[in-house]
Amino acid sequence: MSTSGLSGWRDLRHHLGSQTDRSELVQFLTAVTDYRPLPHQLRAHLAHADDGGLTHKLLLGGVGSGKTMFGAAETVLMALASPGTNLAVLAPTFDQILHVVIPEIRHLLDEMASNGYPLARRWKHSTACFELVCGGRIFARSFDRVDSIRGFTFSSVHLDETSMARRPAYVFDTLAGRLRDRTANKLQIHVTTTPRGLHGVVAKFISHRNAADLLEPADAAKAKRGWWTGRAPTQANTYLPEGYVESLKAGYSKRQWEQEVEARILRPETAVYSEWSRDRHLRPWRYDPTIGHYDLAIDWGHSHPSVLFIQKIPGTGECVVFDEFCDDSVPRDHLRDYIRRACDKFGRPPSNAATDRAVKSENAWLMSVYPSMRLHTMKSRQAQDIRNGVEIVRSMLDPVDRAPMLYVADHLAKDPPKRGIVRCFEGYKYKKRSDGSLSDEPWKDGTTDHGADCIRYYCVALGLGERRPYVLGRAHGRNSPSDYFARRGSRRKF
């Protein structure tokens, strides 16, 4: 680009950035790229603080709603509006930044260049940044490396999936304090995430908006526009493939559906399995020899073992825990003898066993005694993830559109032992942080966690684990199907 062309390009960008109304800026981007914002994305793009000062935006979106595409487009808009300034884009992991967020930004930059409006000179891998035409850079970082850009001054920052961060409020505060470039036409921090309760950055936005309610109506409206929030359920992305939303119901509990599909901020629950109810989840059941097959779920333990006996009802997929063993201080040989005697009583070996992979000696013994049995241990990282397993159990206790798929025999609820499965469902709780808030990690109290681990092993291995759909936040990658359609769909031309 010639000197005169560069000067004209800078002038055009300053003109677009100086407008209080952002519609002209958005129109320019859609004219020079194939980006066509969906209604919820457009509302978020046009939102701004009344006085032209620092704008905070929070877009809560369900899985596949197009959050990532909005964040990428908004970053490009902010780079357009303030030539010569630095911007930053951050996500929980560098893999997510490199393989999900940056490709979307790169696509828009390539589209602009091909239409005669180059915004980026090059991507510099060694410093993980785009060097921009007319000066300035877009830095890409993971949340864990936020301190590496502490000394910089920015005009705009994008934080993606903040609810997955370990210290989201720290990341937000660190970067919000760096939004101080006096040459910028617009100063902004925009956040996109699927909410996971009222904490971190989500709680910060809600707190500011609640504080605004104490002001006079005109001042309250102005303050809220400076802390704009929007919500987009998965269904808001009209470019998702047919049947996609319905397919999510196969592995979601009602609570998870509200959180990850409808993007609602749910009140924290102390109990891990708040869906559990004796009225709904107890049923009369003993071992049914006409079904024949049964499975084991075992948390071996050294002094607090737990063993569950479970039958899956053919044709329904429903599972019933019909017997258990949870005595304390049981020697290894006594536990082995109990399992042998219990299985002999049923007249056939177990069909499957779901166990903790850590106790290899006991798993080897179990296979030597029942060689026809299939042993399922938590081998993959996803199978070992406690939070992922908890969601699978919850999705069986309280599915979105059908009756429960996980039950306990009612005789186990009559004077249940302290470590019995009924007590585990009722007493398994989340940890509390030092500030009194609830974490998303269950508390290993030495009593309820053993039976809870048992049922989690079983549900992951033999419940919904194998056919459960991809859930955003469990893993990140360019090829993950749910995120792929969210990113690509919103750019298709009408």
Contact 270, 285 (CB under 8 A): no
Return all residues near 44 (Cβ < 8 A) that are at least 6 apart. 57, 59, 70, 74, 190, 228, 230
Average pLDDT (390-404) is 91
Greater pLDDT, 482 or 4: 4
| Residue 189 confidence (pLDDT) above 90 | yes
pLDDT of residue 268: 66
Greater pLDDT, 388 or 464: 388
Confidence class for position 301, pLDDT limits 50, 70, 90: confident
Measure the CA–CA gap between 162 and 202, rounded to whole angstroms: 8
Q: Report phi then psi at 42, rounded to 5.
A: -65, -45
Contact 468, 405 (CB under 8 A): no
Confidence class for position 282, pLDDT limits 50, 70, 90: very high
Residue type, 311: Q
Contact 190, 91 (CB under 8 A): no
Return all residues near 429 (Cβ < 8 A) that are at least 6 apart. 270, 271, 272, 442, 443, 445, 448
pLDDT of residue 105: 97
pLDDT of residue 379: 85
Measure the CA–CA gap between 308 and 90, rounded to whole angstroms: 44
**Which two three-digit tokens encode residue 184?**
């910028």
Average pLDDT (460-485) is 48
| Per-residue model confidence as pLDDT tens digits over 341-393 | 999 999 999 999 999 888 999 999 999 999 999 999 988 888 888 988 999 99
SS3 316: coil
Contact 304, 450 (CB under 8 A): yes
The enclosing H or E element of 308 equals strand 306-312
Measure the CA–CA gap between 143 and 180, rounded to whole angstroms: 20
Residue 481: C-alpha distances to residues 63, 64, 244, 245, 261 (Å): 11, 9, 10, 12, 15
pLDDT of residue 440: 78
- 8-state DSSP, 469: P
CATH placement of domain 3-246+482-489 = 3.40.50.300
Q: Report phi then psi at 136, rounded to 5.
A: 95, 165
Question: pLDDT > 70: what percent of the chain?
Answer: 91
Measure the CA–CA gap between 393 and 309, rounded to whole angstroms: 16
Listing DSSP states for 224-292 in one string gives HHHEEEEEE-GGG-TTSPTTHHHHHGGG-BHHHHHHHTS---PPP-SBTTTT--HHHHEE-----TTT-
Confidence class for position 3, pLDDT limits 50, 70, 90: low
Average pLDDT (250-254) is 79
Return all residues near 223 (Cβ < 8 A) that are at least 6 apart. 208, 209, 211, 212, 215
| Residue 471 confidence (pLDDT) above 50 | no
Q: Where in the chain is the domain with CATH 3.30.420.280?
A: 278-463
Confidence class for position 493, pLDDT limits 50, 70, 90: very low
CA dihedral 350, 307, 333, 336 (to 10 degrees): -10
Question: pLDDT > 90: what percent of the chain?
Answer: 66
Average pLDDT (264-285) is 88
pLDDT of residue 84: 95
3-state secondary structure 21-55: CCHHHHHHHHHHCCCCCCHHHHHHHHCCCCCCCCE
Confidence class for position 491, pLDDT limits 50, 70, 90: very low
| Per-residue model confidence as pLDDT tens digits over 44-54 | 999 999 877 79
Fold of 278-463: Nucleotidyltransferase; domain 5 (3.30.420)
pLDDT of residue 439: 77
pLDDT of residue 51: 73
Least reliable range by pLDDT among 55-59, 117-121, 160-164, 471-475: 471-475
Greater pLDDT, 341 or 437: 341
pLDDT of residue 465: 47
Least reliable range by pLDDT among 264-268, 358-362, 486-490: 486-490
Confidence class for position 40, pLDDT limits 50, 70, 90: very high
Q: Where in the chain is the domain with CATH 3.40.50.300?
A: 3-246+482-489
Contact 259, 266 (CB under 8 A): yes
| Residue 442 confidence (pLDDT) above 60 | yes
| Residue 419 confidence (pLDDT) above 90 | yes
| Residue 425 confidence (pLDDT) above 90 | yes
| Residue 466 confidence (pLDDT) above 80 | no
Average pLDDT, the chain: 88
| Residue 300 confidence (pLDDT) above 80 | yes
Confidence class for position 436, pLDDT limits 50, 70, 90: low
Using alpha carbons, select from 121, 160, 35, 114 the residue that is nearest to residue 493.
35
pLDDT of residue 246: 84
